[in-house]
Amino acid sequence: MHTIRLMSRTQASDRLQVLTIEDDATIGRHLQAGLQGNGYDAYWRRTGGGGLTLARESPPDVVLLDLGLPDIDGVEVARILRAEQPNLLIIILTARTDEIDVVVGLDAGADDYLVKPFNLTVLLARLRAHLRRRPVVGTDTEPIRVADLVVDIAARRCLVRDREIDLRPKEFELLVALARHPGVALTREDLMAQVWDENWFGSTKTLDVTMAALRRRLSEAVPPPNGPDGLELPKITTLRGHGYRLELPSPT
Ligand code: CA
């Protein structure tokens, strides 16, 4: 998680490093000035290639990523960054109104998005919200067990018997939020608050995309109806107009 990196930062500068990858000079300059003026170490590259190079040389805490870049598609940059730096916070900046771009970007590993033009105050609030300490890290020492699913919060691992399911940070946190209250209906707002932030004021599309990814990873690990060896994974039920519930296994 981002917080772990922050706590382990020991070099002279404890300012958070934000890399902006954006070819629009007006936006780039605006972000540079705004971020520097608000206590961040800000860096700016105008191409995907330049951004990736800098991110490898000096891994940032946050990347603000334009989707429409001159050399590499921003979605591809997000995918590469996510693969190379799993704990990096990636926020997409998109001028496109087409929601597909946002969905594809989030699926490629971005954590959040802002639609241009956006207010600097909004960006700074989002950054603070994301970088605030996540409640889910290391607070439970006992793994949570629901049917054959084991969620080990301290180790940040999700296991089905001995098989590990590889989840992205937000997918894991979403599963934790559900698994802490199996059989209980959780509202979308509850989940957004627990997994993202209580002051979240973005779209809840992020929740839908992350939920879809979580379900996909679980079903790939144990294909329905019960997969090999009679493994039983709790199902995530969608409650229309309300939220979600992790189903307790039916008694046998
Ligand atoms: Ca652009």
CATH code, domain with 214: 1.10.10.10
- Closest listed residue to residue 180, CA positions, set 214, 215, 153, 218: 153
DSSP-H helix ranges across 23-67? 25-36, 48-57
pLDDT tens, position by position, 20-78: 999 999 999 999 999 998 889 999 999 999 999 999 999 999 999 999 999 999 999 99
Tell me, in angstroms, the distance from the centre of ligand 1 to residue 110's CA. Answer: 17
CATH code, domain with 99: 3.40.50.2300
Predicted local confidence at residue 228, as pLDDT: 55
Predicted local confidence at residue 250, as pLDDT: 64
Do 91 and 164 fall into the same domain?
A: no
Tell me, in angstroms, the distance from the centre of ligand 1 to residue 24's CA. Answer: 6
Do 109 and 176 fall into the same domain?
A: no
Quote the tokens at residue 139: 């607070």
Predicted local confidence at residue 87, as pLDDT: 80
Do 182 and 114 fall into the same domain?
A: no
Please report the sign of the dihedral spanned by the C-alpha atoms of residue 205, residue 207, residue 211, residue 217.
positive
Which residue's entry shows tokens 């209580």? Answer: 198
C-alpha distances (whole Å) from 31 to each of 14, 20, 34 are 20, 8, 5
The answer to the question of residue 95 being in a domain is yes
Predicted local confidence at residue 117, as pLDDT: 84
Predicted local confidence at residue 72, as pLDDT: 95
Do 114 and 188 fall into the same domain?
A: no
Tell me, in angstroms, the distance from the centre of ligand 1 to residue 203's CA. Answer: 22
Give the Cα-Cα-Cα angle 210, 183, 148 (nearest 5 degrees). Answer: 75
Q: Which residues of the chain have pLDDT under 50?
A: 1-12, 133-139
User: 153 lies in which domain range?
Assistant: 144-247
Do 75 and 176 fall into the same domain?
A: no
Q: What total number of domains does the chain contain?
A: 2
What span, in angstroms and rounded, lies between the C-alpha atoms of 147 and 226? Answer: 11
Do 32 and 121 fall into the same domain?
A: yes
Tell me, in angstroms, the distance from the centre of ligand 1 to residue 3's CA. Answer: 30
pTM: 0.55
Do 125 and 176 fall into the same domain?
A: no
Predicted local confidence at residue 233, as pLDDT: 80
Give the Cα-Cα-Cα angle 21, 22, 26 (nearest 5 degrees). Answer: 140
Predicted local confidence at residue 12, as pLDDT: 41
Do 160 and 86 fall into the same domain?
A: no
Domain termination residue (choose one: 73, 98, 132): 132
- Closest listed residue to residue 178, CA positions, set 245, 87, 111: 245
